[in-house]
Amino acid sequence: MEPDLTTARTLWSQYERIHAVTYFADEAAAAATATGYRGFWMGYFAQRAAPLGPVGPGVVTPCFYGFHRSRVERALPDAWAYAGPEAALAARLRGVDDTLRRLWGDRMVSSAQVEEAADLLWEAAQAAEVAGRVLGAANQALPRPEEPHLALWQATTTLREHRGDGHVATLVAFDVGPVEAALVKIGAGETDGASLRRGRGWPDEDWQAAEERLIDRGWLDGTGALSVAGKSAHREIEARTDAAAASPWQVLGPVRTSRVAELLTPLLVPILAAGLVPAHNPIGVPMPDAAAVDVGQDDGRGELEPGRGSLGVRGEAPR
């Protein structure tokens, strides 16, 4: 059975927004600080790398792909002296728990809707093919959290790391290095260039050299925008990333996969309404207005009946 690439992309545009609360919520930052980590980046690298164990920059830099090694070295391995991987994993779940309870409310957190979504997403995440995908495999191997909303979040994390591993493999196959990948993302209008440059930590000369390489390949024009050839390459990279991310949904099947999308749609509304994830975020996932989602009505049990509309981005295809 050929994978439905549109389905893989649509599901990513949904579950990524739930996963991303761990990067942007105040509660997540507070949990990292309470655990002993110093500053945002130490908490980020420790918590995201924790499924791999107490690894250092030599492992994390190539796995995460986008960061200059010096950025990683400011956090690792020092973070493990403050709190080890088990504490980091507990902290990220604690931060997510506090965030989702604030955004969804206790009634929604304990609803049948969240429980059903958690079961389906957990099954999908466990079905993901993780051969050669280090971050996806490490997250897939973690035990299922007892509370459904945390199991739901952990499943989204496994799925997004699985997809990310496939994306990195595709970039390598296309001979696109980390800085070049960032420039393609910026050139495609997926993210804000200034914040990405600050966050990734690459020196100016590396940005300039990567830009020159992409211009020589014919992928960028003189303004930093993608050329016709660059747009074509970008579409092919994204299509191959979608294909590599399709295995969970093939196993789940079309009916239950559609049910996942139906269940997730109203759960996104409070996240969108809170403006938690910036519109031009470094992840590259587009953020629709909350009003663009038909959310249906609260059924009185803390559950939102999914609306008739589909989640989408006005005037823009997902990612």
Examine residue 163 and state whether it is found in any structural domain, yes or no.
yes
Which amino acid would we find at residue 129? E
Looking at residue 54, the DSSP 8-state letter turns out to be: S
Residue by residue, pLDDT tens for the chain (319 residues) are 444 668 888 899 999 999 999 999 999 999 999 999 999 999 999 999 999 999 999 999 999 999 999 999 999 999 999 999 999 999 999 999 999 999 999 999 999 999 999 999 999 999 999 999 999 999 999 999 999 999 999 999 999 999 999 999 999 999 999 999 999 999 998 888 888 899 999 999 999 999 999 999 999 998 999 999 999 999 999 999 999 999 999 999 999 999 999 999 999 999 999 988 777 677 777 655 444 444 343 444 444 443 333 333 222 222 3
Examine residue 111 and state whether it is found in any structural domain, yes or no.
yes
State the Cα–Cα distance between residues 310 and 210, nearest whole angstrom. 38
3-state secondary structure of 219: coil
Examine residue 109 and state whether it is found in any structural domain, yes or no.
yes
**pLDDT given for residue 262 in this prediction:** 96
Examine residue 52 and state whether it is found in any structural domain, yes or no.
no
Write out the two tokens for 315. 């005037």
**pLDDT given for residue 53 in this prediction:** 98
Examine residue 305 and state whether it is found in any structural domain, yes or no.
no
**pLDDT given for residue 52 in this prediction:** 98
**pLDDT given for residue 194 in this prediction:** 87
Q: Is the peptide bond before 178 cis (omega within 30 degrees of 0)?
A: no
**pLDDT given for residue 290 in this prediction:** 44
Q: Domain span at residue 252?
A: 5-21+105-170+244-290
State the Cα–Cα distance between residues 23 and 20, nearest whole angstrom. 6
Q: How many domains does the chain have?
A: 1
3-state secondary structure of 311: coil
Measuring CA to CA, which residue among 271, 259, 293, 260 is closest to residue 17?
A: 271
**pLDDT given for residue 4 in this prediction:** 60
**pLDDT given for residue 71 in this prediction:** 97
pTM for this model (two decimals): 0.89
Q: Give the dihedral sign, CA 193/194/196/201.
A: positive
Q: DSSP readout, 166-206? A: HHHHHHHHTT--HHHHHHHHHHTTSS-HHHHHHHH---HHH
Task: Mark 116-129 as b/e (b = at least 16 C-beta within 10 Å).
Answer: bbbbbbbebbeebb
Examine residue 129 and state whether it is found in any structural domain, yes or no.
yes
Consecutive H or E run containing 240: helix 228-244
Examine residue 202 and state whether it is found in any structural domain, yes or no.
no
φ and ψ at residue 314, rounded to 5 degrees = -65, 120
State the Cα–Cα distance between residues 280 and 268, nearest whole angstrom. 17
Examine residue 158 and state whether it is found in any structural domain, yes or no.
yes
